[in-house]
Amino acid sequence: MTYQPGRHFLQIPGPTNTPLPVLAAIAKPTIDHRGPEFAKLGCEVLSGIRTIFKTGNPVIIYPASGTGAWEAALVNTLSPGDKVLMFETGWFSTLWSRMAKRLGIEAEFIAGDWRSGVDAGAIEARLRDDKEHTIKAVAVVHNETSTGVTSDIAAVRRAIDDAGHPALLLVDTISSLGSIDYRHDEWGADVTVGGSQKGLMLPPGLAFNAVSQKALKAGKGAGFPRSFWDWEEMIAINDKGFFPYTPSTNLLQGLKVAIDMLHEEGLENVFARHDRAAEATRRCVRHWGFEIQCANPAEYSSALTAVRLPEGHSADNLRADILGRSNMSLGNGLGPLADKVFRIGHLGDFHDLMVMGTLSGVEMGLRACGIPHQSGGLDAALRYLSGNAGPAGSA
């Protein structure tokens, strides 16, 4: 590809755009990870990240991807041969279940349609049938990045409690943390998995486990061998701001700034900004005449919108045309949705003008590729955004 002038629009559902203050912090000289300056930084980020998860309990930070945080959640709480109940919401719930099976966990996967969130009623019914309490954990994805569906985690917790079952609740928030309201303590999650490269506005490379006291107790009897992923060693040294091995020092410098930025804007304002961008995007998509992959409006994601193209039209060809024409990247369809959907990311560091620029690039691509649509989707989005004032015009 020849040089393309202008800013690249990275509108995939993560990694997201990294704001300049975060990049500047990451670019600072690397500091001694055993020295007093790092101890101060470590204490600040370990305390600050708890406020994003909304927990008073420990949050473990790994130099890893979200996949590593998945594994850490499983091996710190379970033993080989244990049974975990999972729910199919899309590609990432599927990958997590595959990981569990490879580790030697018996993963029972409740089938879904890739258009809906977790069915709490089905979870409760299965747990009521489990009279011997052989199921040790329920593992679900909060925001399914492949489909744009957000599940009700509080309802899943109620389902476990109403069934009178002792199973742990493990939750993936990789594409919702810092973008969609999530409450680790209030919603009764035992392990919450997160990653740095989406709502936290950092490059990939940091992964998180927020843990409850129940999860820590379960870890005492967990039978998986673990060293790198072990919570106990991490928590013991984290108390002083340090890590048991060389951490991602510069990414932690960026994380401190990212947390400060989220608090300066205010988490509720952050969530409202994502909600507005998502609704503007959906209005535009519906005006074009396309179907949104998420079938239930109550489960619409505020982090991304997955758009279904009409039969006979290639989502991948559209994405390629948009990349070449407008220097903009959109998310591809995953698994059975390959070449059938494209995904518009609206999460992380963005504002209304970036949303409108993104939708403009899509509509140009639709016209260029000859994909039938009703023009004027941009006006639908613009009317919504101009009538719903952003942070500068409303509380």
Rounded Cα distance, 144 and 119, in Å: 14
Please choose, from the candidates 147, 98, 95, the residue with its C-alpha nearest in 3D space to the C-alpha of residue 118. 147
Cα within 13 Å of Cα(274), Cβ side: 28
Strand order in the sheet with 328-332: 9-11, 328-332, 341-345, 304-308, 291-292
What is the three-class DSSP state of 85? strand
Strand order in the sheet with 106-110: 59-62, 207-211, 191-195, 168-172, 135-141, 83-87, 106-110
CB neighbours of 112 closer than 8 A, spacing ≥ 6? 87, 88, 89, 90, 93, 118, 119
Find the Cα–Cα–Cα–Cα dihedral 264, 267, 270, 271, rounded to 10°. -170
Q: Across the strands, what pairs with 144? A: 149
Rounded Cα distance, 285 and 278, in Å: 10
Rounded Cα distance, 69 and 63, in Å: 10
Distance of CA 292 to the CA centre of its chain: 19
What is the three-class DSSP state of 156? helix
For the record, the structure tokens of 174 come out as: 């990789």
Please choose, from the candidates 259, 254, 284, 261, the residue with its C-alpha nearest in 3D space to the C-alpha of residue 346. 284
Residue 131 CB-density burial (10 A; 0-12 exposed, 13-18 middle, 19+ buried): exposed
Q: Is 183 annotated as a binding residue?
A: no
Provide the annotated binding site for substrate.
343
What residues form the annotated binding site?
343
